Structure 1
Amino acid sequence: MRHGRPTGTERRAADIVLAVLALGAVIAVIAIGQERQVALAETYLSSEVRQLTRHRPLVPDPRPIALDQPRRLLLLEAQSRLYEAPFAAPAARAAMLDSAHRALRVAAATPYGDGEAELALAYLHAGRGNAAAMRAALARSYAFAPYLRYAADWRVRQAFAHWRDLPSSARRRSVDEAIWYVRLRAEYREGIFSAARASPAYTRFLLALRQVRARDQDLRSFRGAGHRAP
């Protein structure tokens, strides 16, 4: 700075700082807008789930899903289309499922994978009667997300029903998830046990459950003796 006036270099530096700050503000505004969209989509999807549990029909949205959205929005919109498709006319239903399929493939195409997107793909393939594609997506969902609280009931049932055709890793994780889920949500216990009894997974499921219960008993005994759990 010369005689109280900034030099050209100082002015350029100040301009760069202002540009960076302005860009940061724009990015922040975009991020906030996207988070709001995600929150709205999650609220809408939850309302559709409540409607279905009350056996009420959904209003189909036949619009194609825009693929230039954040992955989370793609997943949420695709899940809505999957729930709505059975209530649409046949031609619209096929278009909705195609759109959901495209969105889910984009959502799942990440270097680290997306267990929720893969499970939604499994659900889509099951609805279309493509058992091989359903099993492949189901196995991938277990690879990327071994535990999914809000989808465990359907996923475990499918894994047990297709037990012989799943890779060993998916079998192991389905048993782990089943045990975790029946301990977490007692109201689903009868349904999970029924699915296990009808499956070749039953023996492995019972043995694993017995091991977990034995550890529970050991822990209770340990605490009852006045010890603290490690």
Structure 2
Amino acid sequence: MTVLAACLVFAGRMLAVEYDVMRTKAASVRQAGGLSGYQDVIDSNRPSEALPPRSALFRGIMRAHAAAAEPGKAAALLRLATADMGHALAARPAWGEAEVSATYLAMLRDGPEAACTLDALRRSYSAAPFLRGSAPWRIRYAASVWRLLDPAIRSRVVDETVWLARATDHTYGYARGLVAQTPAAPLVDARLRAGTD
């Protein structure tokens, strides 16, 4: 009987966590789609540590996007987003999506050429060399700071761009467009012509 009760308590907690994550993710989708009904998540005073890591990640991303859209509130929102992202990464070190989000956050907070932003980009590639959802932003950002990247990171950017180009018939031109008119473009084109991964 005690084991059954413990199992029920555990299942109840897991359901609560999943509900929290789904609610926060849905708010994030509404924000990204330009819809209403997400501001309460951004404004929540619930401490980062009280959130499931995935909820912290979604809320941190939402706050970062809000900071980019509301310069008057940017400093406070970036502080809150940094706390959310810190909790997500502390709970799940080397989490690719969180590392890319941390790069975006560092870019907003410290600038695209700041050492901490470039370090965050490096960590994101170490955590996950290929990320379907985040690849376009990461490739575009990396191409914009190409001259500041070391050869190892440049190689990873080319790898990810080639991977994205070959993912489907529809992504070939799109992926090449992400690096068009940048020093990465000839390297990507050469790899695509060579037909080697």
Bin for the TM-score computed over the shorter chain: 0.7 to 0.9
TM-score (norm 1): 0.72
1:129, CA displacement in angstroms? 4.2
Structure ranking higher on relative contact order (CA contacts 8 Å, 6+ apart): 2
Is the CA contact 1:178–1:192 (under 8 Å) kept in the aligned structure 2? yes
1:26-41 to structure 2, matched below 5 A, reads: 26-41=9-24
What do the CA deviations read for 1:40-81 (whole angstroms, capped 9, x no partner)? 2222211221218xxx9x858333452222211110111111
Is the CA contact 2:53–2:91 (under 8 Å) kept in the aligned structure 1? no
**Pick aligned residue for 1:113 from 94, 99, 102:** 94
Counterparts in 2 of 1:109 and 1:170: CA distance versus 1, 3 Å: farther
Q: Distance in 2 between matches of 1:192 and 1:65?
A: 39
Q: Which one has a bigger Cα radius of gyration?
A: 1
Match of residue 182 from structure 1: 165
TM-score (norm 2): 0.82
**Long gaps (5+) in structure 2:** none
Counterparts in 2 of 1:135 and 1:64: CA distance versus 1, 3 Å: farther
Question: Percent same amino acid at aligned positions?
Answer: 29
Matched, 1:48 2:31: yes
* Aligned-residue CA RMSD (Å): 2.7
1:79-98 to structure 2, matched below 5 A, reads: 79-88=61-70, 90=72, 92-98=73-79
**Pick aligned residue for 1:165 from 148, 170, 177:** 148
Counterparts in 2 of 1:89 and 1:179: CA distance versus 1, 3 Å: closer
Is the CA contact 1:65–1:78 (under 8 Å) kept in the aligned structure 2? no
1:127, CA displacement in angstroms? 1.7
Counterparts in 2 of 1:85 and 1:59: CA distance versus 1, 3 Å: farther
**Long gaps (5+) in structure 1:** 1-17, 216-230
Match of residue 208 from structure 1: 191
Is the CA contact 2:136–2:178 (under 8 Å) kept in the aligned structure 1? no
What secondary structure sits across from 2:101 in the alignment? helix
1:173, CA displacement in angstroms? 2.0
